[in-house]
Amino acid sequence: MTVYLVAVVLLTAVFDVLLITTLDPVWGMGRMFAPAVASVVARLVLRESFADVSFRFGGLRTWNYIGLALILPIVIGLIAYSIAWTTGLAQFDPQPSGGLDTRLTSLASSPVLVFVIMLAVSTFISVFPNSLFAAGEEIGWRGYMLTRLIDAGVPRPILASGLIWGLWHVPLVLAGLYAAGSSPVLSAVLIMVTATSFSYLLARVRLETGSIWPAIALHGAWNSIIQTAFDPATAPGATLWVGESGILTALALVAAAIIFSRGRWAIRRVPEAGEGASTASPAPRT
């Protein structure tokens, strides 16, 4: 575990320096693969197998959770952003970002229809490239770190994994390059709440299925739906309330984490384990 954390910190630091000094977004994309590369380094150094990443799809259980992964960001987004739009904390003003969105929404007759089209594109089309970059994170965070924290007997491993993941975002927030509002410090605090809460959803779909794909799908869907549908549908100036470091977004994710954490968890290392109770271990305290 120490090898992984050292590797991810060093790799991330390199990308952070390049991103902050050049402002070239390509380094931000590269940064998202630092956790995956760090996990490979740790496995090679420690001579560990790659099997527990679990790239298998498995059966219906995995597909059900992938379907859920597409729905959750929409539900959470609608709750947080609708409150902001209807209370006047934010203005509903859908602005297609270009490309397919612009071509499709050019025929729309109302702002609501424009938003619906943007939401459909982000859910069923933009989700694929977003999931590619999300995989760079999930292979490391949920495919390696989470299971190692559980195996090591770390108290509340899912909370610990969420806090580590949240801290990983903080440098870019403080630098004003990611999810930063008028107060980067406040944004950093809120991104910690958002990431830690979201980690419970990601951990559950990973552990309940034994497959990394639902976590990748959920992470990719979140980035796609929130960043390319809900955020562009909101007029600038509302970052205190919505966005990934918005108060309402953070509160919605806290509520989702509480609801999603209820009930008995299982730890499945491969999808097939879901078919037999003898191969599923009870989850630790989250």
Question: What percent of the chain clears pLDDT 90, i.e. is strictly above it?
Answer: 78
Express each pLDDT in 144-163 by its tens digit. 999 999 999 999 999 999 99
Residue 97 binned pLDDT confidence (cut-offs 50, 70, 90): confident
Write the Ramachandran bin of 58: left for phi over 0, alpha for psi from -120 to 50, otherwise beta: left
Express each pLDDT in 206-265 by its tens digit. 999 999 999 999 999 999 999 999 999 999 999 999 999 999 999 999 999 999 998 888
Is pLDDT of 5 > 50?
yes
Is pLDDT of 275 > 60?
no
DSSP 189-200: HHHHHHHHHHHH
The whole-number average pLDDT for the span 129-139 is: 96
Distances (CA, A) of 283 to 156, 207, 260, 262: 10, 9, 14, 12
Express each pLDDT in 178-203 by its tens digit. 988 889 999 999 999 999 999 999 99
Is pLDDT of 58 > 80?
no
The whole-number average pLDDT for the span 45-50 is: 91
> Which tokens sit at 41?
């380094």
Q: CB-based contacts of 170: which residues, under 8 Å, 6+ apart? A: 188, 191, 192
Q: Please tell me the predicted confidence (pLDDT) of residue 276.
A: 39
Q: Please tell me the predicted confidence (pLDDT) of residue 285.
A: 64
Residue 283 binned pLDDT confidence (cut-offs 50, 70, 90): low
Count other Cβ atoms within 10 Å, centred on residue 79. Answer: 16
Q: Please tell me the predicted confidence (pLDDT) of residue 279.
A: 45
Q: CB-based contacts of 37: which residues, under 8 Å, 6+ apart? A: 7, 11, 140
Residue 274 binned pLDDT confidence (cut-offs 50, 70, 90): very low
Looking at per-residue pLDDT, the higher value among 61 and 196 belongs to: 196
- The structure's pTM equals 0.92
Is pLDDT of 270 > 90?
no
Residue 98 binned pLDDT confidence (cut-offs 50, 70, 90): confident
Give 222's DSSP letter: H
Q: Spell out the domain ranges in the chain.
A: 55-282
